Amino acid sequence: MNKKLLLITAIASFTFAASVFSQELVQWRGAERSGVYNETGLLKEWPAEGPKLLWHFDGLGRGFTSVTIANNKIYTTGESEGAGYVFALNMEGKQLWKTEYGKDWADSYPGTRTTPVFYKGNLFLATAYGEALCLNAETGKKVWSVDMKTKFGARDLKWGIVEAPVIFGNKVFFTPGGENVAIVALNIKNGETIWTSKATGEKSAYCSPLLFEYKNKKYFTTSLSGNVVGIDVNDGTLLWNVSQVNVHSIHPNTPLYKNGHIYSITGYKTGGVMVKLSDDGKSVTELWRNTSLDSQMGGAVWIDNFIVGSGTQNDRSWQCLDAKTGLVLHKTNAIGKGVVVYADGLFYCYADNGEMGILELNETGFELKSKFRIVLGTEQHWAHPVIDKGILYVRHGNTLMAYSVKK
């Protein structure tokens, strides 16, 4: 199985490299929002104290956002005293600029929620209070902004609006979750409205959407408060919807796509659902549901026929599911539950108890190769790690850390 996983990773790496040309687009959880990073030659084990810490930057303020790395700069967001900021650091962790963009989340679990998306020299993000923003990535200056509450009836959520927007062509897609405008496509140059979609008329659900290609056509999928939806990117038409309900209407995990299939996972004992697209992409067939793997906001990774993530309430173990059936193949409690990303044959697991570890999947199950504890930073361990050019970036509240994981 190890050799097969490495082969699949190599094939995926080629696909991902082809899809991101000259760093035109850099986004949440990697090139295809899958949590898979195109990296090779990484360490297979770490020293007991963890990989070498190259640098850390203390001063981001409060936040759970990840980082975006483009054009030799590192971008992220943070909140201080109710104001939201975008930061640009150089590759040695020195601040280049810091831009205040307005009010951001200072209530329950205070801190910024949105990881910026880089596209053709600009950064795109949504604030917790429903403002869509575009900033110049070189200077941090605001290019345009849209108040989605005023314009589209964006509705407040208990823990603030959360979304890394999706970009395709001249459009940037946001999910205001308004009664009549659940999803909107804005012009990337000026923020003007291209189309609006009522979809199912539900509130947004803390989900960063997915753009995917099926039979040479592009589609948009995301989770609203009670449904996973499929949208036509050209005009916003609702193509299909599948029920996915939990007690708090919280669905933060980006859906995963592979070969005409979509997997969406949520917490609070609801678990995940796998659907298959029809030939014309206008409907789906439900294949299976699994409630054991119910990752609340740590995502999952789908490699070959294996889906890996951690449970939260039904079963707090790390689990490997058979993507064809939804059956649990392997489990481990070798590290605490949390976030997962993947690179070079290993699953990088950042637990909400502060543990950072690497798991390998083989014929007999999971093998914990190494783990150490993140001791720098503040508050919750919820941010999703990023791996870029042999460096593992871990955000913990006020602190961003850069670890060398290259051989």
How many angstroms separate the CA atoms of 286 and 343, rounded? 30
**Region of poorest pLDDT, from 7-11, 135-139, 175-179:** 7-11
Contacts of 128 (CB under 8 A, 6+ apart): 84, 104, 105, 112, 113, 114, 159, 160, 161, 162
What per-residue confidence (pLDDT) applies to 111? Answer: 97
Query: Is the pLDDT reported for residue 8 higher than 70?
Result: no
- Determine the average pLDDT of the residues in 32-44: 97
How many angstroms separate the CA atoms of 323 and 33, rounded? 18
Q: How confident is the model at residue 12 (pLDDT cuts 50, 70, 90)?
A: very low
In 298-373, the DSSP E strands lie at 301-303, 306-310, 318-322, 328-332, 338-343, 346-351, 355-362, 365-373
Residue-wise pLDDT for 88-112, tens only, equals 999 999 999 999 999 999 999 999 9
- Determine the average pLDDT of the residues in 365-393: 98
Q: 292 in helix, strand or coil? A: coil
H helix runs in 126-252, sequence order: 148-152
Q: How confident is the model at residue 387 (pLDDT cuts 50, 70, 90)?
A: very high
In the chain the domains, ranked by start, together with CATH numbers, are 2-404 (2.130.10.10)
Query: Is the pLDDT reported for residue 389 higher than 50?
Result: yes
DSSP code for 383: P
What per-residue confidence (pLDDT) applies to 237? Answer: 98
Residue-wise pLDDT for 237-294, tens only, equals 999 999 999 999 999 999 999 999 999 999 999 999 999 999 999 999 999 999 999 9
What per-residue confidence (pLDDT) applies to 316? Answer: 94
Q: 151 in helix, strand or coil? A: helix
Q: What element of type H or E holds 15?
A: helix 2-19
Whole-prediction pTM: 0.94
Query: Is the pLDDT reported for residue 3 higher than 90?
Result: no
Residue-wise pLDDT for 195-237, tens only, equals 999 999 999 999 999 999 999 999 999 999 999 999 999 999 9
Query: Is the pLDDT reported for residue 14 higher than 90?
Result: no
Amino acid identity, residue 296?
Q
Q: How confident is the model at residue 141 (pLDDT cuts 50, 70, 90)?
A: very high
Token pair of 28 as six digits: 């949440």
397 CB burial (10 A radius; 0-12, 13-18, 19+) = buried
How many angstroms separate the CA atoms of 340 and 345, rounded? 13
- Determine the average pLDDT of the residues in 314-319: 95
Query: Is the pLDDT reported for residue 173 higher than 90?
Result: yes
Which residues make beta-bridge pairs with 286?
A: 275
How many angstroms separate the CA atoms of 111 and 296, rounded? 18
DSSP string, 19-54: HS-TTSEE-TTSTTSSSB----SB-SS--TT-SEEE
| CA separation, residue 246 to residues 132, 176, 224 (Å) | 27, 20, 11
- Determine the average pLDDT of the residues in 118-141: 98
| CA separation, residue 56 to residues 71, 86, 332, 374, 383 (Å) | 20, 17, 31, 12, 15
CB 341 within 8 A of CB 35: yes
Kindly report the average pLDDT of the chain as a whole number: 94
| Locus of tokens 């793997």 | 293
What per-residue confidence (pLDDT) applies to 20? Answer: 38
Q: How confident is the model at residue 11 (pLDDT cuts 50, 70, 90)?
A: very low
- Determine the average pLDDT of the residues in 35-39: 97
